[in-house]
Amino acid sequence: MTGAADVSETSRKAPLSSQRIGLTTATSIAVANMVGTGVFTSLGFQLLDIQSGFALLSLWVVGGIFALCGALTYGELAAALPRSGGEFHFLGRIFHPCLGFLAGWVSFIMGFALPVALAAMAFGSYLEAVAPLVEPKVSASILVAIVTLAHLRDLRLGSAFQNLFTGFKLLLVVIFIGASAWAALGREIVTEVSFVPSRADVDAILSAPYWVSLLYVMFAYAGWNASVYVIDEMRRPERNVPRSLALATGLVLVLYTLLNWSFLVTAPVSEMAGQIDVGHVSARYIWGESGGRLMSGLLCLALVSTISAMVWAGPRVTQVIGQDYVFFRKLARTNSHGVPVVAILTQSLLVIAMILFTEFQQLLIYTQFILALSSAATVAGVFWLRHREPDLPRPYRTWGYPYTPLLFLLVTLLTVGFTLLQNPVESTVGLATVLLGLPIYLASPRTTPAESGATRP
């Protein structure tokens, strides 16, 4: 393991020969980060307040368009300010290092640790449907430990582990959609919802529950910005980052809409409402009790990919924070294979604590409320950067500017506003968590350019 003084050259300046991530891999990273917990769990909570099939599917379309607007905007920032670190780098460079630090603090706790905990808890719920004797929180904690070990050794093992489970997950989603379509064509459906728009749907879409439900959808799409966290490892990031973000988001929008249609046409609303494992409920109606248990087992494996993707990406953001701030320098340490072992272990220990001492729905609202604000601040940065540095080279400019970033900001403000009104406790705790990072920022001096091995932005 390298010492703190050795962090600079080994972790900041990757040799050109190692920058081998192209468009396909970058797109896969974003897809893997998106397709996971949210789409397999959100519908159950949405059905508590909304029973219209049209309104429910519109949530996934609106959420996808929202994510696409964010992806197009992030693409410009990534092309103009190419460095790994995501919001930590963008906000610190555009506005102030303090805002960047708080965004990094949010990413450390909520951006990756909390979503990993949510995915692991969903894994535990699906596994319980297959093996009732296994306590969900115990199985979730064990899975996090196993995935962590797979990513600690070297990048090749972690990459192979990630690619295997991502490919399996996408295949499973396509099979599920196909089976549901076959059942629908054979009229073997028990749907209780209508997909034909009506006046009631307009009322539903304008209601507070609809916009709070959109928060769940935004969580499901979280990860559309994943490739910006690995910019330093990409070939031609000014071209491949924007394309990967747009391609991944468009693909996932289609998959998410079809998958939720599959759930709605195969299982009764009364059995899915309020349930985490809606995939198991739906599978039971498609393939029977035994088939449902088998599908739940397969869905467990699909969630492994989500956990793996965030265990891989999250510590890379923490590593960049360690490169920039003395207080967190140990988090930038890597082993002989370039793996940020301290950052990975720190995140995984935090994840296991969250699994053992919190509940799923509370975590979800708490997480997405703050992440939405962080993304909104980053998207707003494109306006300020164009104003302050109009001559900055921009190999890619946001398509549809200024309407696409404005639409992203409008939807975000509506969603977080309704969420604050409907769930004031979780929202307030989220804001308090952000502010907790402020004294830590003030107590931690930044490293010098010589220490970090790169020129300061």
Q: pLDDT tens digits for 114-129?
A: 778 888 888 888 788 7
Contact 198, 348 (CB under 8 A): no
Question: Band of the pLDDT at 187, cuts 50, 70, 90?
Answer: low
Chain-centre distance for alpha carbon 171: 20
Of 88, 71, 108, 111, the residue nearest 379 (C-alpha)? 71
- Is residue 189 in a domain? yes
How confident is the model over 366-372, as a mean pLDDT?
Answer: 74
CA angle 260, 265, 271 (to 5 degrees): 85
Which CATH number fits the domain that encloses residue 356? 1.20.1740.10
Of 367, 324, 322, the residue nearest 346 (C-alpha)? 322
d(CA 223, CA 28) in angstroms, rounded, equals 11
Residues 6+ apart with CB under 8 A from 184: 265, 266
Q: Give, as one character, the DSSP assignment of residue 33.
A: H
Residue 265 has pLDDT above 60, yes or no: yes
Residue 428 has pLDDT above 90, yes or no: no
SS3 readout for 290-342: HHHHHHHHHHHHHHHHHHHHHHHHHHHHHHHHHHHEHHHHHHHCCCCCCCCHH
| Higher local confidence (pLDDT), 351 or 365 | 351
Residue-averaged pLDDT of the chain:
79
Residue 63 has pLDDT above 60, yes or no: yes
Question: Band of the pLDDT at 16, cuts 50, 70, 90?
Answer: very low
Q: Read off the pLDDT of residues 371-426 as tens digits, 9 standing for 90 and up.
A: 788 889 999 999 999 999 999 998 889 989 999 999 999 988 888 887 788 778 77
- Is residue 181 in a domain? yes
Q: Give, as one character, the DSSP assignment of residue 445.
A: P
Residue 19 has pLDDT above 60, yes or no: no
Peptide bond into 402 cis (omega under 30): yes
- Is residue 457 in a domain? no
- Is residue 73 in a domain? yes
Q: Read off the pLDDT of residues 104-114 as tens digits, 9 standing for 90 and up.
A: 888 777 777 87
Does this model's pTM top 0.75? no
| Higher local confidence (pLDDT), 36 or 197 | 197
Question: Band of the pLDDT at 14, cuts 50, 70, 90?
Answer: very low
Q: Map residue 249 onto helix, strand or coil.
A: helix
Residue 6 has pLDDT above 60, yes or no: no
Instruction: State which residues form the domain around 169.
Output: 4-452
- Is residue 147 in a domain? yes
Judged by average pLDDT, the poorest of 139-143, 245-249, 266-270, 363-367 is 363-367
- Is residue 334 in a domain? yes
d(CA 437, CA 339) in angstroms, rounded, equals 26
d(CA 430, CA 367) in angstroms, rounded, equals 7
Residues 6+ apart with CB under 8 A from 241: 26, 74, 75, 78, 79, 82, 227, 228, 231, 234
Output the pLDDT for position 77.
92
Of 322, 324, 371, 326, the residue nearest 343 (C-alpha)? 322
For helices 23-34 and 155-185, give the axis angle rounded to 10 degrees.
60
Contact 237, 84 (CB under 8 A): no
Which residue bears the tokens 């379509």?
A: 181
- Is residue 385 in a domain? yes
Token pair recorded at residue 5 = 């003084």
| Higher local confidence (pLDDT), 40 or 407 | 407
Q: How many domains does the chain have?
A: 1
Output the pLDDT for position 389.
93
- Is residue 288 in a domain? yes
